[in-house]
Amino acid sequence: MLLQDGQFLEALRYYQLESQLCQPMATADPKDVSSRLLMVAVYANIGHALWRAGHLQEGLASLRHGLSEISEMNEFHQNSEVRTVLGLIDILIGGALERRGERNAAPSSYSQAQSIYQSMSDADPQDAQEHLMLSGTENRIGGIHIKIGKPDSARNHYEKALAISEPLASLTPANLDALYNVFESYSGLGDLSVASAKKAKTANDKVRYWNQGRIWYQNGLAASRRIPNRAIISPDGFESRDPKLIAQRLIECEAALTKLAASAHR
């Protein structure tokens, strides 16, 4: 909960203490998969907390250490638990690279995670958790593709994420991770519509795209309001946007539509 609430240094201290407790068990018996997996998770958590706190080089070092360990385990113990952690570390490395400004390097890590969660989802269509990890990963790819100038690909990934999470978010009670995911998908699709609106040449196209953006942002904010005690990081470990920023973008859409409507009546 410390990490989810943005208390990164406090979370780091906890994970470092956990490392001191887990290390002897992991090294005592290298064949003990459970102990080694627990240690890998600690490396991942330490790396995650470090890069969130701004210590990107140290965070990547810890994550890559964990990646080396889990990759070796995956060669001999290809079970779902090992593969889930492997995918998560790929996502965290992608996030750290993205935060460091290495936008062309991050997609590779996200794509590796996507491949893992896609194959796991295909193998067990009833496993909601792996489907939600796939959805969250699709959102991350969508986000980085916006940043590197691939809007069509970004839209495709956001739509894939939404198709996975939306049914689970519509349940009563809703799946919490699904709500975080659809909020991100709606927000990303809104960003794409706004970008199209700003490039549109005709008044009709501008109205169409600004209205699309408004609807996406409205849907995103509605999903966000259903999240109890919203955190900046979802339970699955994906960064979540600030709803206040999305609310500001909604206001931008409404203002643009009002201006276009006034121009049409002149």
pLDDT at 79: 85
pLDDT at 34: 87
Task: Give the integer Cα–Cα distance in Å for 207 and 217.
Answer: 15
Give the per-residue pLDDT at 32: 81
Q: Which residue's structure tokens are 């992991």?
A: 26
How does pLDDT run along the chain (266 residues), one tens digit per residue?
A: 789 889 999 999 999 999 998 888 888 877 788 888 999 999 999 999 999 999 999 999 999 999 999 998 888 877 889 999 999 999 999 999 999 999 999 999 999 999 999 999 999 999 999 999 999 999 999 999 999 999 999 999 999 999 999 999 999 899 999 999 999 999 999 999 999 999 999 999 999 999 999 999 999 999 999 999 999 999 999 999 999 999 999 999 999 999 999 987 76
Structure tokens at 160: 């894939």
pLDDT at 266: 64
As a three-state string, the secondary structure of the chain is CCCCCCCHHHHHHHHHHHHHHHHHHHHHCCCCHHHHHHHHHHHHHHHHHHHHCCCHHHHHHHHHHHHHHHHHHHHHCCCHHHHHHHHHHHHHHHHHHHHCCCCCCHHHHHHHHHHHHHHHHHHCCCCHHHHHHHHHHHHHHHHHHHHCCCHHHHHHHHHHHHHHHHHHHCCCCCCHHHHHHHHHHHHHHHHHHHHHHHHCCCHHHHHHHHHHHHHHHHHHHHHHHCCCCCCCECCCCCECCCHHHHHHHHHHHHHHHHHHHHHHCC
